[in-house]
Structure 1
Amino acid sequence: MSIRYGDVLAELRQAYDGGAAERDTHEKEPWRVAERAAFEARLRAEGRRSLLEIGAGTGQDSRFFMDAGYEVVAVDLSPEMVARCRAKGVDARVAHFLDLGLPEESTDAVYALNCLLHVPDADLPAVLDNIRRVLRPGGLFYLGVWGGRHHEGDIDTDRHEPRRFFAWRTDEALLAYARGSFEVEDFHVVGVGEFQFQSLTLRRAR
């Protein structure tokens, strides 16, 4: 039987609660800053004003978008991460990807950096549909994840306790999932050492 998102939630929450303080000290690598800036430039060019960050972590990206003038809501599975978002002045809420707790068509944009790689393949279509549901028609969705090959399970090098579940996907598989719910505006790969980061900008059809 394939693993499901509900099977991994408790351990993910525990791992990220325990790692929140250390993560809040991380500085963004230049390539991450460039990815975020490129998406913000698209939003600005289209006159977008509101943004939902999912898997928001400690709120560094949410704070960036707030400082750029956007109305931001952040959600994260981890109460400790949400507390750190709120300490930065972010409207942050505890929620998971299958129950975002937001009305339909309530935001112009969604930003998800390295969080949907915790969703098993079996539940990714439902999660993407749920993200589409909260986006306004024509809205933009930034999806960035590690991947490039197929893997489902924990990894030996994970420093979190308990070890987190990861779902990595080939480029072809990830694009196929994305096209099931969105139009693909941009897809490119960023090479980071031996790793591959998959960057997608997606649009909800009008």
Structure 2
Amino acid sequence: MADELVRTAYQARAAEYTGLLGSVEDMHELDRLRIEQWADRIGGAVLDVGCGPGHWTDLLHRRGVDVQGIDLVPEFIDAARTRFPDVPFRVASFRDLGVPDGSLHGVLAWYSLIHVHPDELPAVFSEIARALARGGHLLLGFFEGSAAEPFAHAVTTAYYWSIDQMRQMLLGAGFDVLDVQTRQDPGRRPHAAIAAVVKDRPAGNSPSSGAGARQVGPVV
């Protein structure tokens, strides 16, 4: 049901969203630099989860990254395939990333977790950790604020997360946090980005293919 609510909300505004925010040129320059620098460290397959209109996926592809984009919203995937025909895209959810255990070297989740209900976010990280090889990289972008505080996002309800709470959830899923960046632009919500790597998996948590996270939302 949560997936369906997010999908329906974005389907109604997919064309508008793509027109306003569907280009790397529409994004903050520091975000572009952050994603490029992160990607340059990765020597294997990358999944852009919640890729939306596909602009970040295409940026990585143009830099020579072995990347694929997934999103819950078919309209986003259709538009991405049309705009970037050389880049692979498919419809998928965080509930099942559709890749074998340990097959990825990187996951980009750039504002794609902001609609995940707080009770479900640990399972999202478990699914991402399942899909990543040991030492695999995650780059996460989100709105910084009081942990799990909802706010009225332009499309559908989203959530702030504190750095400390996000760090703890990543540690619980078997990640080591490498670095944290924050930014406050005038008139905008506080931004945060966390880079992490898979270190190990907690005892008793050995997810297998197709089992794990329970929510998805497009990149914002």
Alignment pair present for 1:198 and 2:196: no
Instruction: Give the gaps of 5 or more residues in structure 1.
Output: 1-6
1:82 match: secondary structure: helix
- Residue by residue over 1:54-110, the C-alpha shift from the partner in whole angstroms, topping out at 9 and shown as x without a partner, is 000000010111111111111111001111221212211111112111111111100
The corresponding residue for 2:44 is 49
Matched residue type, 1:201: A
For the structure 1 residues 153 and 145, does the alpha-carbon distance in structure 2 shift closer, same or farther, using more than 3 Å as the test?
same
Q: Within 5 Å, which residues of 2 pair with 1:179-194?
A: 179-181=171-173, 182-193=175-186, 194=188
CA–CA separation in structure 2 for the residues paired with 1:92 and 1:152: 32
The corresponding residue for 1:104 is 101
2:145 maps to which of 148, 166, 177:
148
For the structure 1 residues 13 and 154, does the alpha-carbon distance in structure 2 shift closer, same or farther, using more than 3 Å as the test?
farther
Instruction: Give the gaps of 5 or more residues in structure 2.
Output: 201-220
1:62 maps to which of 57, 67, 70:
57
On the 8 A contact 1:8/1:165 being kept in 2, the answer is no
- Residue by residue over 1:142-176, the C-alpha shift from the partner in whole angstroms, topping out at 9 and shown as x without a partner, is 01111222344451xx433xxx1212112211111
CA–CA separation in structure 2 for the residues paired with 1:62 and 1:72: 7
Q: Within 5 Å, which residues of 2 pair with 1:75-86?
A: 75-86=70-81
- Residue by residue over 1:12-43, the C-alpha shift from the partner in whole angstroms, topping out at 9 and shown as x without a partner, is 10121222222223312212212212212333
2:27 match: secondary structure: coil
The higher-RCO structure (CA 8 Å, 6+ apart) is 2
Higher share in helix: 1
Query: 1:196 Cα deviation (Å)?
Result: 1.2
| Number of equivalenced pairs | 191
On the 8 A contact 1:49/1:69 being kept in 2, the answer is no
Which stretches of structure 1, 4 residues or more, deviate above 6 A after TM superposition?
none
On the 8 A contact 1:154/1:165 being kept in 2, the answer is yes
Higher share in strand: 1
Matched residue type, 1:173: Q
CA–CA separation in structure 2 for the residues paired with 1:151 and 1:176: 13
On the 8 A contact 1:77/1:95 being kept in 2, the answer is yes
The corresponding residue for 2:36 is 37
Alignment RMSD (CA, Å): 1.6
Matched residue type, 1:118: H
1:129 maps to which of 126, 129, 137:
126
On the 8 A contact 1:148/1:198 being kept in 2, the answer is no
CA–CA separation in structure 1 for the residues paired with 2:72 and 2:151: 18
CA–CA separation in structure 2 for the residues paired with 1:50 and 1:151: 31
TM-score, normalised to structure 2, is 0.81
CA–CA separation in structure 1 for the residues paired with 2:162 and 2:125: 17
